Amino acid sequence: MPNLKVRPHAPDADGAVLEVTPQSAGWEHVGFKVVRLKSGQTYNGGEAGREACLVIVAGTAAITAGGQTFEGVGGRATPFEDRAPGAVYVPAGTDYAVTAGGAVELAVCTAPGKGLGAPRLIAEADMPREVRGSGTNQRHVRNILPETEAAEGLLVVEVITPGGHWSSYPPHKHDTATPTEETALEETYYHRIDPPQGFAIQRVYTDDRSLDETVSVEDGDVVMVPRGYHPVGAPHGYDVYYLNVMAGPKRNWIFRNDPAHEWIVKPKA
């Protein structure tokens, strides 16, 4: 049985509480780490051959990369606050430092890269909130690093699903390279729950059910999606935040809904 859930642990010397690497996940592209910093603490990173999107999930930090310093990145108190996160793109092979100006929750999102481009701040104005779905399928989305913005492999997005709603729904997948119909992308889901004693449900399954796992997700957990459909359910009373990181051979997000459930979003005759 595959183990798709990664639980957080006490901060290590660098503040890291959770990490997914291509080696630990058994795939080729996506890397993900969560770092919790105390005021004044600095996290240093940068890796040859891997680009990064540094997301300040909560808190405020100064980020230095490639000789540039971006002050006051972030600012929201929690990921459930109705404002964009702080985010900085760092090309592969560029060292960076994140210094906390108070308690900081940092997500380090990585994928293979050749070092193209330059470090840049992703402005809040470039991450407007978007509402998708209707009724109990409605959720709130911010595209942090979509395919319309420069990067080599990374796609990064965050979503808030209100309690009682479903997200990544109807179930969809992106695990085959089928031109114009579907792209092959690995994905991680980093979950936060409000209030934090709650839980969410995520199912990951394939058409032939060779992979079919239903995961109970608690605050701070990551679910890895190597392939298959991957809907998320938020129980009544608990809002669910997740930060998605995707990457694959081609930087393009084209998904296919599960045919059994696609009727849900088709216009009524």
Q: How confident is the model at residue 2 (pLDDT cuts 50, 70, 90)?
A: low
CA 120 from centre of chain: 19
Average pLDDT over the chain reads 96
| Alpha-carbon gap, residue 66 to 186, rounded angstroms | 28
Predicted local distance difference test score (pLDDT) of residue 268: 74
Domain boundaries, the chain: 5-265
**pLDDT above 70: percentage of residues in the chain:** 99
The DSSP secondary structure of 93-123, one letter per residue, reads T--EEEEESSSEEEEEEEEE----S--EE--
Structure tokens at 54: 């540094």
Instruction: Calculate mean pLDDT across residues 115-137.
Output: 95
Cross-sheet strand order for the sheet of 222-225? 5-6, 222-225, 186-194, 239-247, 155-161, 139-145, 129-132
Instruction: Write out pLDDT tens, residues 148-163.
Output: 999 999 999 999 999 9
Does domain 5-265 sit in CATH 1.20.1540.10?
Answer: no
**Three-state SS at 124:** helix
Instruction: Write out pLDDT tens, residues 23-32.
Output: 999 999 999 9
- Nearest partner of 144 among 198, 93, 83, judged by Cα: 83
Instruction: Write out pLDDT tens, residues 183-227.
Output: 999 999 999 999 999 999 999 999 999 999 999 999 999 999 999
Predicted local distance difference test score (pLDDT) of residue 1: 40
Instruction: Calculate mean pLDDT across residues 74-84.
Output: 97
Instruction: Calculate mean pLDDT across residues 24-47.
Output: 97
Dihedral, 51, 251, 248, 68 alpha carbons, nearest 10: 10
DSSP label at 7?
Answer: -
